[in-house]
Amino acid sequence: MTEGSPWQNKDHETDSQSAMKAETVCFRNYRKIRVRYFAAVPDDKREVIMTGKTKKVSVPGQTKKITWKEIRRQKILLIWAAAFVIYGFIFCYLPLGGWVMAFQNYKPKDGLLGSQFVGLAKFQQLFSDATFLRVIRNTLAMGVLNLASTFIMAIVFAILLNEIRTTWWKKSIQTISYLPHFLSWIIVTGILHDVLSTSGIINELLVKAGILDNAINFFAHPKYFWWIVAFANVWKETGWNAIIYLSAITSIDPSLYEAAAIDGAGRWAKIRNITLPGIRPTIMILLLMNVGNVLNAGFEVQYLLGNGLVQSVSQTIDIYVLKWGISQGDYSMGTAAGIFKSVVSIILIVMANQIAKRTGEESLF
Amino acid sequence: MKGKKVTAMLLTAAMAMAASGGLSVNADGGDIKEFTAFFAVPGSEINDDNEVQQIIAEKTGAKVKETWLTGQTAEEAVGTMIAGGEYPDFIDGSDGMQQLYEAGALVALDDYIDQYPNIKAYLSDAQWDKLRRDDGHIYWINQFSAIYEKDMSTTHNDEAFWIQTRVLEWAGYPEIRTMDQYFDLIESYIEANPTMEDGTQNIGYTILCEDWRYFCLENAPQFLDGYPNDGSVIVKDGTTIVDYNTTPTAKEYFGKLNEEFKKGIVDPESFTQTYDEYIAKLSTGRVLGMIDQWWDFAYSVNDSLKLQGLEAQGCNYVPLPITISEDVKNQWHTTGLSGDNINEGSGLAITVSCEDVEGALQFIDDLLSEEILTLRNWGVEGVDYLTGDDGLFYRTDDMRINAADTAYKASHLCAYSYFPNYKGLSKDGINAATPSEQPQEFLDSLPDNVAACLEAYGCSTYVDMLGNNDIPGIWYPMYSYSGSMTTATPGGLAWTKMGELKHEWLPKIVMADDYDSAWEEYMDAYAQCKPEDFLSEMQEELDRRLALAE
């Protein structure tokens, strides 16, 4: 329906349905309204409404000149939109001015305007640092590992949860499972430290079960670190991430399941042929958004769980920025590393989006 | 009836006023200035309505809200402030001091100092001169480089090999001089006593190496070779910089740790524990020995051993005079900095965000007066200490327990501990500056097991266990320079990289199956950090300091 229509809040129903309903039930003075309304809309639109069909009509109104009248009519919308544009500008674009630092030898004393420009020297310094290259590797590895594990686990969990028949049981499991999301990382890492310590419950279980001879100090071996981080992320976020899939599952038409049941489909067949395809658009959109986040592999977890022994696998770009940018006072280098991260993220998200488009899936833009 | 109502309303109004704004008016009716301070060292915040703080505020007309480092390194905290460009009125940036100076965040104090007699007298002229930065100005006042009249230290506040008194008692208080003897003792004790009285497993030796606290693992080789705590290097013969990371002693020390690690004497969680976990571990009384600085563990651990009654089991720690071999004389303990020596690397500074520099300096000056010093160090007379007929201060047992109680400390005591303070004698010339330095008070508050142990060794203080040493030379301490290095110079860059590398490799070699080859690998990796850049800059600084003294 067109904007400004008095029935527009009924957009779940088809136009003809809503028109009928309105005519018979809702508005006593419907006729009057319709006449007044129709006088205000252009002829081409009137046709759409009258026939009750949503066929695509090339509406010349889209290329219509912006008139003061039109602006006044949409005043409220414009004000709201402006608020968000201003917000975005102040908090997302204005800080980008600081990127200048990466091309300077920035000294806080001299400020942004007074510092000496050095071109790409800081980037050169960055990429000739073996630590930085290792840090990129760690970030990517942990990012991909986290993405894959939390992503798959959330879907699996949502589907499993959906299969539970008893409502109260389902609800309570759901509530319990997303509680960890509200814990801060400092608490989660504290718990992990206790659980995985040599005298912790995991070691105790493994030793008692005879799987291990001696307790392992999990945090002392670089080979475990990435998996511990992925595990921590899964534990903390699975329940929370599953919410969105659960809601997507709820919106699947129940008649499909009924039809499938009549055709003799079991649970597994229903999941494979109805649930999964039903939430596929949601999965794709979330996957795309998360790909852009791969380099945000984390800061707190690695910072809090890391120690000297595993620092070669635990440090992420964010920790590197903190260490060299903030601690060592080389703000230019920190900014350069930050720019690198942003650029790679943009490339990743554009690439993923293109792939999605090509394969005919949902895409972000 | 109406009169009553009015009275009630007036009372309510008065109470509301007292509750909201009344506290900021002092006895003279003038407003109390409120300053803010940040110290880039761990510390505990006191309550806003702290009693002694209020008394000091009434007497001086100012109070300071202090905040401390939490969960970050000093450089991180300071770097964040610089990036934001906003500072508290007072700051001690610790290892981040140089960054604050370079960012132009500090107010030059040299023009003001002469107007404040207490501040002026706090340091000697030579010390003031050492505080000057390369632009010729003084920006901060080191708070711990002043001993009034004479050194009275009873506690070894610094680094040492510590051991629980129960181990020494069990072995009949043997003389322990070397690392081998130390670990032999721990081994034989743990063999005879695998658990504590309540069945908790004993831990032979633990190593704290979280972040900047890894000195507990890292810098022992300098002490083992009989040098004092220059912190980052050895100064040989008072003229030459030597790297303690590569000495034969270093190899032997880490080799010994490796051997003990394999035997299970060294706590397997050593390299992954956090500071909190470490303190919790020591507080259970399970750990027989470790290297640490007294200030890093003793305050929290001793209080909790006392509360749990573990003093009776002999779980308190005493230091041992350990070196690499018996013919090397130890210098674990040196007299506090005073006279011409000073840690010029950090101190209390006033920032450009402070709107009342003179008021801030006046407050520091007031804090150094006799009356306020006593309030800061001893507390309130009659409540926290009593005065004997001879003018000597003393405390009752209850007062001592109060002074160890965290809640009481937060609500009542206010030491302003990172503002300039004296050690040694009090300005009255009779008492020690602080209770822990008061000889009788020290003895009375000593746990029984420590008292027995000290007596067995013929010592009267912790310091006697190690023996006192004068400050080794005019250059001392070199850490005040390495602490202020930044990555802007090759030496500073090397220093940072060496630190990173050691964080990873020292635990690795201690845990290595084949120590000798691990050591070789470590030395190769170490050489790639270009330690020679660092050492040559340290040598330049040493030469500069020596030349300055002449």
Digit-coded pLDDT (tens) for B92-129: 999 899 999 999 999 999 999 999 999 999 999 989 99
pLDDT exceeds cutoff 70 at A8: no
> What SS3 state is found at B314?
coil
B474 CB-near residues (< 8 Å, 6+ apart): B340, B341, B545, B546, B549
pLDDT exceeds cutoff 80 at A128: yes
Model confidence pLDDT, tens digit, residues B66-83: 999 987 889 999 999 998
Query: In the block, which residue shows the tokens 């499991």?
Result: A173
Residue A308 has its nearest CB partner, among B82, B104, B214, at: B214
pLDDT exceeds cutoff 80 at B280: yes
Residue A327 has its nearest CB partner, among B73, B274, B511, at: B73
The residues in B 18-77 lying below 8 A from A, measured between CB atoms, are: 71, 73, 75-76
Rounded average pLDDT over B139-164: 91
Q: According to the model, what pLDDT value does residue B333 have?
A: 94
> Rounded to an integer, what distance in angstroms lies between the CA atom of residue B430 and that of residue B391?
7
Q: According to the model, what pLDDT value does residue B19 have?
A: 45
Model confidence pLDDT, tens digit, residues A312-342: 999 999 999 998 888 888 899 999 999 999 9
Rounded average pLDDT over B164-187: 96
> Rounded to an integer, what distance in angstroms lies between the CA atom of residue B37 and that of residue A215?
46
Minimal Cα distance from A219: which residue of B?
B272
Statement to judge: residues B499 and B531 lie in one domain? yes
Q: B65: domain range?
A: 23-151+343-440
C-alpha of B1 from chain center = 64
Give Cα separations from B479 to B231, B321, B335 (angstroms). 5, 22, 16
Contact A309 B103 (CB under 8 A): no
Q: Categorize the per-residue pLDDT at B30 as very low, low, confident or very high, splitting at 50, 70 and 90.
A: low
Tell me how close the Cα of A263 comes to any Cα of chain B, in angstroms. Answer: 58
Model confidence pLDDT, tens digit, residues B379-404: 999 999 999 999 999 999 899 888 88
The residue among A112 and A124 whose pLDDT is bigger is A124
ipTM over 0.90: no
Statement to judge: residues B172 and B302 lie in one domain? yes
Residue A198 has its nearest CB partner, among B71, B269, B487, at: B269
The residue among B306 and B221 whose pLDDT is bigger is B221
Q: According to the model, what pLDDT value does residue B459 have?
A: 93
> Rounded to an integer, what distance in angstroms lies between the CA atom of residue A247 and that of residue A244?
5
Chain A residues closer than 8 Å to B486 by CB: 328-329
Interchain contact B171–A (C-beta under 8 A): no
> Rounded to an integer, what distance in angstroms lies between the CA atom of residue A123 and that of residue A120?
5
Statement to judge: residues B213 and B90 lie in one domain? no
Total structural domains within chain B: 2
Q: Is residue B18 part of a domain?
A: no
Q: What are phi and psi of B65, to 5 degrees?
A: -85, 115
A9 CB-near residues (< 8 Å, 6+ apart): none
Q: Categorize the per-residue pLDDT at A26 as very low, low, confident or very high, splitting at 50, 70 and 90.
A: very low
Statement to judge: residues B285 and B166 lie in one domain? yes
Statement to judge: residues B482 and B409 lie in one domain? no
Four-CA torsion B117, B118, B122, B125, nearest 10 degrees: 0
Tell me how close the Cα of A321 comes to any Cα of chain B, in angstroms. Answer: 11
Q: Which two tokens stand for residue B466?
A: 């190690």
Q: Is residue B7 part of a domain?
A: no
- What is the average pLDDT value for chain B, to the nearest integer? 90
> Rounded to an integer, what distance in angstroms lies between the CA atom of residue B375 and that of residue B387?
14
pLDDT exceeds cutoff 70 at A138: yes
Interchain contact B543–A (C-beta under 8 A): no
- What is the average pLDDT value for chain A, to the nearest integer? 82
Q: Which two tokens stand for residue B184?
A: 């032999």
Lowest mean pLDDT across A139-143, A198-202, A251-255, B507-511: A198-202
Lowest mean pLDDT across A15-24, B191-200, B369-378: A15-24
Minimal Cα distance from B511: which residue of A?
A220
Minimal Cα distance from B79: which residue of A?
A326
Give Cα separations from B149 to A193, B20, B141, B339, B433 (angstroms). 49, 45, 19, 10, 10
Q: Categorize the per-residue pLDDT at B12 as very low, low, confident or very high, splitting at 50, 70 and 90.
A: low
Minimal Cα distance from B214: which residue of A?
A308
Statement to judge: residues B353 and B475 lie in one domain? no
Sign of the C-alpha dihedral computed for residues B257, B260, B262 and B265 taken in this order:
negative
Q: Is residue B497 part of a domain?
A: yes
Tell me how close the Cα of B348 comes to any Cα of chain A, in angstroms. Answer: 20
Statement to judge: residues B178 and B319 lie in one domain? yes
Q: Is residue B453 part of a domain?
A: yes
Interchain contact A345–B (C-beta under 8 A): no
| Domain containing residue B82: CATH number | 3.40.190.10
Minimal Cα distance from A217: which residue of B?
B269
Contact B269 A331 (CB under 8 A): no
Model confidence pLDDT, tens digit, residues A229-251: 999 999 999 999 999 999 999 99
Statement to judge: residues B245 and B225 lie in one domain? yes
pLDDT exceeds cutoff 70 at A25: no
pLDDT exceeds cutoff 90 at B15: no
| Last-in-domain residue among B392, B424, B440 | B440
The residues in B 254-283 lying below 8 A from A, measured between CB atoms, are: 268-269, 271-272, 274, 277
Contact B508 A186 (CB under 8 A): no
| Last-in-domain residue among B440, B460, B495 | B440
pTM of the model: 0.81
Chain A residues closer than 8 Å to B216 by CB: none
Q: Is residue B167 part of a domain?
A: yes
Interchain contact A303–B (C-beta under 8 A): no
The residues in B 210-229 lying below 8 A from A, measured between CB atoms, are: 210, 214
Rounded average pLDDT over B348-374: 95
Minimal Cα distance from B509: which residue of A?
A309
Chain A residues closer than 8 Å to B529 by CB: none
The residues in A 317-336 lying below 8 A from B, measured between CB atoms, are: 322, 324-331
Q: Categorize the per-residue pLDDT at B307 as very low, low, confident or very high, splitting at 50, 70 and 90.
A: confident
Antiparallel, parallel or unpaired: β B90-92 and B33-42: parallel
pLDDT exceeds cutoff 50 at A54: no
Q: Is residue B12 part of a domain?
A: no
Query: In the block, which residue shows the tokens 């390194």?
Result: B73
pLDDT exceeds cutoff 50 at A357: yes
Tell me how close the Cα of A300 comes to any Cα of chain B, in angstroms. Answer: 11
Contact A322 B76 (CB under 8 A): yes
> What SS3 state is found at B163?
strand
Rounded average pLDDT over B431-442: 90
Rounded average pLDDT over B4-16: 56
Statement to judge: residues B212 and B312 lie in one domain? yes
Statement to judge: residues B139 and B170 lie in one domain? no
- Could you tell me the domains of chain A? 8-64 (no CATH), 66-119 (no CATH), 123-358 (1.10.3720.10)
Statement to judge: residues B472 and B367 lie in one domain? no
Interchain contact A184–B (C-beta under 8 A): no
Statement to judge: residues B195 and B167 lie in one domain? yes
Contact B102 A109 (CB under 8 A): yes
Interchain contact A193–B (C-beta under 8 A): yes
Interchain contact A221–B (C-beta under 8 A): no
Q: Choosing among B211, B272, B504, which should be mutated to test the A contact, i.e. which has the most A CBs within 10 A?
A: B272
| Last-in-domain residue among B385, B407, B440 | B440
Q: According to the model, what pLDDT value does residue B7 have?
A: 58
Q: Is residue B416 part of a domain?
A: yes
Residue A308 has its nearest CB partner, among B85, B102, B209, at: B209
3-state secondary structure string across chain A = CCCCCCCHHHCCCCHHHHHHHHHHHHCCCHHHHHHHHHHHCCHHHHHHHHHCCCCCCCCHHHHCCCCHHHHHHCHHHHHHHHHHHHHHHHHHHHHHHHHHHHHEECCCCCHHHHCEECCCHHHHHHHCCHHHHHHHHHHHHHHHHHHHHHHHHHHHHHHHHHCCCCHHHHHHHHHHHHHHHHCCHHHHHHHHHHHHCCCCHHHHHHHHCCCCCCCCCHHHCHHHHHHHHHHHHHHHHHHHHHHHHHHHHHCCCHHHHHHHHHCCCCHHHHHHHHHHHHHHHHHHHHHHHHHCCCCCCCCHHHHHHCCHHHHHHHCCHHHHHHHHHHHCCCHHHHHHHHHHHHHHHHHHHHHHHHHHHHCCCCCCC
Q: What are the residues facing B160 on neighbouring strands? A: B292
Q: According to the model, what pLDDT value does residue A63 have?
A: 60
Burial class (CB within 10 angstroms; exposed 0-12, middle 13-18, buried 19+) of B185: buried
Cβ contact B381:B390 at 8 Å: no
Q: Is residue B228 part of a domain?
A: yes
Minimal Cα distance from B497: which residue of A?
A131
Share of chain A above pLDDT 90, in %: 49
